[in-house]
Structure 1
Protein backbone atom coordinates (compact mmCIF):
# COMPACT_ATOMS: atom_id res chain seq x y z
CA UNK A 1 0.00 0.00 0.00
CA UNK A 2 1.46 3.24 -1.07
CA UNK A 3 -0.06 6.33 0.43
CA UNK A 4 0.43 9.95 -0.32
CA UNK A 5 -0.42 10.76 3.28
CA UNK A 6 2.27 12.90 4.90
CA UNK A 7 3.02 11.78 8.41
CA UNK A 8 3.65 14.49 10.93
CA UNK A 9 5.97 12.72 13.39
CA UNK A 10 7.77 15.84 14.61
CA UNK A 11 5.70 16.20 17.82
CA UNK A 12 6.27 12.52 18.64
CA UNK A 13 10.00 12.83 18.10
CA UNK A 14 10.17 16.06 20.14
CA UNK A 15 8.34 14.65 23.19
CA UNK A 16 10.26 14.21 26.41
CA UNK A 17 11.74 10.73 26.85
CA UNK A 18 11.58 8.39 29.84
CA UNK A 19 14.44 8.86 32.28
CA UNK A 20 14.75 5.15 33.15
CA UNK A 21 17.56 2.88 32.05
CA UNK A 22 16.90 -0.33 30.17
CA UNK A 23 18.58 -3.58 31.18
CA UNK A 24 21.14 -2.99 28.47
CA UNK A 25 22.20 0.18 30.29
CA UNK A 26 20.94 2.50 27.59
CA UNK A 27 18.18 5.01 28.33
CA UNK A 28 14.59 3.97 27.67
CA UNK A 29 13.40 5.36 24.35
CA UNK A 30 9.69 5.47 25.16
CA UNK A 31 8.02 8.86 25.62
CA UNK A 32 7.36 10.01 29.17
CA UNK A 33 3.76 10.13 30.36
CA UNK A 34 2.36 13.65 30.50
CA UNK A 35 3.41 15.41 33.69
CA UNK A 36 5.78 12.62 34.74
CA UNK A 37 9.40 11.77 34.06
CA UNK A 38 8.82 8.08 33.27
CA UNK A 39 7.04 6.15 30.55
CA UNK A 40 4.01 3.94 31.25
CA UNK A 41 6.24 0.87 31.55
CA UNK A 42 8.62 2.40 34.09
CA UNK A 43 6.16 3.82 36.58
CA UNK A 44 4.59 6.79 34.85
CA UNK A 45 1.12 5.24 34.71
CA UNK A 46 -1.51 6.27 37.23
CA UNK A 47 -1.52 4.49 40.62
CA UNK A 48 1.86 2.84 40.11
CA UNK A 49 4.78 2.60 42.46
CA UNK A 50 5.00 2.09 46.17
CA UNK A 51 2.39 3.67 48.44
CA UNK A 52 3.39 6.66 50.52
CA UNK A 53 4.99 5.58 53.76
CA UNK A 54 5.71 2.19 52.25
CA UNK A 55 5.39 -0.40 55.02
CA UNK A 56 6.66 -3.08 52.64
CA UNK A 57 10.10 -1.48 52.59
CA UNK A 58 10.59 -1.47 56.35
CA UNK A 59 13.58 -3.51 57.41
CA UNK A 60 13.43 -6.03 60.20
CA UNK A 61 16.97 -5.52 61.53
CA UNK A 62 17.87 -9.20 61.65
CA UNK A 63 21.13 -8.67 59.79
CA UNK A 64 22.38 -5.52 61.49
CA UNK A 65 25.86 -5.76 62.97
CA UNK A 66 24.42 -5.61 66.51
CA UNK A 67 21.99 -8.48 66.04
CA UNK A 68 24.57 -10.59 64.19
CA UNK A 69 27.07 -10.04 67.00
CA UNK A 70 24.41 -10.91 69.58
CA UNK A 71 23.61 -14.19 67.82
CA UNK A 72 27.32 -14.98 67.60
CA UNK A 73 27.68 -14.36 71.37
CA UNK A 74 24.73 -16.63 72.13
CA UNK A 75 26.18 -19.32 69.87
CA UNK A 76 29.55 -19.06 71.65
CA UNK A 77 27.95 -19.35 75.09
CA UNK A 78 25.93 -22.39 73.99
CA UNK A 79 29.03 -24.05 72.53
CA UNK A 80 30.91 -23.45 75.79
CA UNK A 81 27.99 -24.88 77.78
CA UNK A 82 27.89 -28.00 75.60
CA UNK A 83 31.65 -28.42 75.97
CA UNK A 84 31.33 -28.15 79.74
CA UNK A 85 28.48 -30.66 79.77
CA UNK A 86 30.55 -33.09 77.69
CA UNK A 87 33.40 -32.79 80.18
CA UNK A 88 31.01 -33.34 83.07
CA UNK A 89 29.39 -36.31 81.35
CA UNK A 90 32.66 -38.20 81.57
CA UNK A 91 32.24 -38.24 85.35
CA UNK A 92 28.43 -38.21 85.78
CA UNK A 93 26.09 -40.34 83.58
CA UNK A 94 23.04 -38.15 84.36
CA UNK A 95 24.64 -35.26 82.47
CA UNK A 96 24.79 -37.39 79.31
CA UNK A 97 20.98 -37.61 79.28
CA UNK A 98 20.78 -33.82 79.61
CA UNK A 99 23.09 -33.34 76.64
CA UNK A 100 21.02 -35.70 74.53
CA UNK A 101 17.85 -33.70 75.26
CA UNK A 102 19.45 -30.32 74.50
CA UNK A 103 18.44 -28.78 71.13
CA UNK A 104 21.10 -28.71 68.47
CA UNK A 105 21.46 -27.07 65.12
CA UNK A 106 20.50 -23.73 63.78
CA UNK A 107 16.72 -24.09 63.82
CA UNK A 108 16.27 -26.53 66.70
CA UNK A 109 13.68 -25.60 69.28
Structure 2
Protein backbone atom coordinates (compact mmCIF):
# COMPACT_ATOMS: atom_id res chain seq x y z
CA UNK A 1 0.00 0.00 0.00
CA UNK A 2 2.81 2.41 0.60
CA UNK A 3 4.53 2.22 -2.78
CA UNK A 4 1.60 2.14 -5.20
CA UNK A 5 -0.17 5.33 -4.08
CA UNK A 6 0.17 8.20 -6.56
CA UNK A 7 -0.01 11.63 -4.97
CA UNK A 8 -1.61 14.53 -6.77
CA UNK A 9 0.98 17.28 -6.16
CA UNK A 10 0.52 19.13 -9.45
CA UNK A 11 -1.38 22.06 -7.86
CA UNK A 12 1.33 22.59 -5.26
CA UNK A 13 4.13 22.30 -7.78
CA UNK A 14 2.57 24.90 -10.09
CA UNK A 15 1.65 27.38 -7.32
CA UNK A 16 3.64 30.61 -7.15
CA UNK A 17 6.72 30.51 -4.96
CA UNK A 18 7.79 32.84 -2.18
CA UNK A 19 10.07 35.63 -3.40
CA UNK A 20 12.06 35.98 -0.17
CA UNK A 21 15.79 35.44 0.02
CA UNK A 22 17.01 32.87 2.53
CA UNK A 23 20.06 33.22 4.77
CA UNK A 24 22.12 31.25 2.28
CA UNK A 25 21.19 33.72 -0.47
CA UNK A 26 18.99 31.38 -2.46
CA UNK A 27 15.30 31.93 -3.09
CA UNK A 28 12.74 30.46 -0.70
CA UNK A 29 11.07 27.51 -2.39
CA UNK A 30 7.96 27.39 -0.20
CA UNK A 31 4.62 28.10 -1.86
CA UNK A 32 3.34 31.65 -1.43
CA UNK A 33 0.20 32.27 0.59
CA UNK A 34 -2.86 32.77 -1.59
CA UNK A 35 -3.02 36.33 -3.00
CA UNK A 36 0.35 37.21 -1.43
CA UNK A 37 3.92 37.21 -2.68
CA UNK A 38 5.45 35.54 0.39
CA UNK A 39 5.09 32.24 2.20
CA UNK A 40 3.71 31.99 5.73
CA UNK A 41 7.22 32.10 7.20
CA UNK A 42 8.32 35.22 5.31
CA UNK A 43 5.41 37.55 5.94
CA UNK A 44 2.48 36.07 4.06
CA UNK A 45 0.58 35.07 7.18
CA UNK A 46 -2.35 37.12 8.41
CA UNK A 47 -1.36 40.16 10.48
CA UNK A 48 2.33 39.50 9.89
CA UNK A 49 4.93 42.21 9.43
CA UNK A 50 5.41 45.53 11.10
CA UNK A 51 2.38 47.65 11.97
CA UNK A 52 1.68 50.98 10.28
CA UNK A 53 4.38 53.44 11.21
CA UNK A 54 6.84 50.58 11.85
CA UNK A 55 7.33 51.15 15.57
CA UNK A 56 8.88 47.65 15.74
CA UNK A 57 12.01 48.97 14.04
CA UNK A 58 12.89 51.02 17.13
CA UNK A 59 14.86 48.66 19.33
CA UNK A 60 17.29 50.85 21.21
CA UNK A 61 17.97 53.94 19.10
CA UNK A 62 21.76 53.48 18.96
CA UNK A 63 21.88 53.98 15.19
CA UNK A 64 19.54 56.93 14.76
CA UNK A 65 20.77 60.19 13.22
CA UNK A 66 20.55 61.92 16.57
CA UNK A 67 22.64 59.27 18.31
CA UNK A 68 25.26 59.33 15.54
CA UNK A 69 25.48 63.14 15.73
CA UNK A 70 25.86 62.96 19.50
CA UNK A 71 28.69 60.40 19.20
CA UNK A 72 30.42 62.61 16.65
CA UNK A 73 30.16 65.59 18.99
CA UNK A 74 31.52 63.58 21.93
CA UNK A 75 34.49 62.42 19.79
CA UNK A 76 35.24 66.04 18.86
CA UNK A 77 35.17 67.14 22.52
CA UNK A 78 37.45 64.25 23.51
CA UNK A 79 39.90 65.09 20.74
CA UNK A 80 39.99 68.73 21.88
CA UNK A 81 40.64 67.55 25.44
CA UNK A 82 43.50 65.31 24.27
CA UNK A 83 45.07 68.21 22.34
CA UNK A 84 44.85 70.43 25.41
CA UNK A 85 46.45 67.77 27.59
CA UNK A 86 49.31 67.36 25.04
CA UNK A 87 49.90 71.11 25.05
CA UNK A 88 49.96 71.28 28.85
CA UNK A 89 52.41 68.42 29.29
Task: List runs of 5+ in structure 1 lacking aligned partners.
Answer: 88-109
- Structure 2: distance between partners of 1:45 and 1:73: 48
Distance change (3 Å), C-alpha of 1:10 and 1:82: same
- Structure 1: distance between partners of 2:14 and 2:71: 53
Q: How does the TM-score come out when normalised to structure 2? A: 0.70
What residue is the counterpart of 2:20 in the other structure?
20
Higher helix proportion (structure 1 or 2): 1
Query: Are residues 1:10 and 2:13 paired?
Result: no
1:26-105 correspondence runs (5 A): 26-57=26-57, 59-61=63-65, 62-63=67-68, 66-83=69-86, 87=89
User: Larger radius of gyration, structure 1 or 2?
Assistant: 1
Task: List runs of 5+ in structure 2 lacking aligned partners.
Answer: none
Q: Deviations over 1:62-82 (max 9, x none)?
A: 22xx54542232112222444
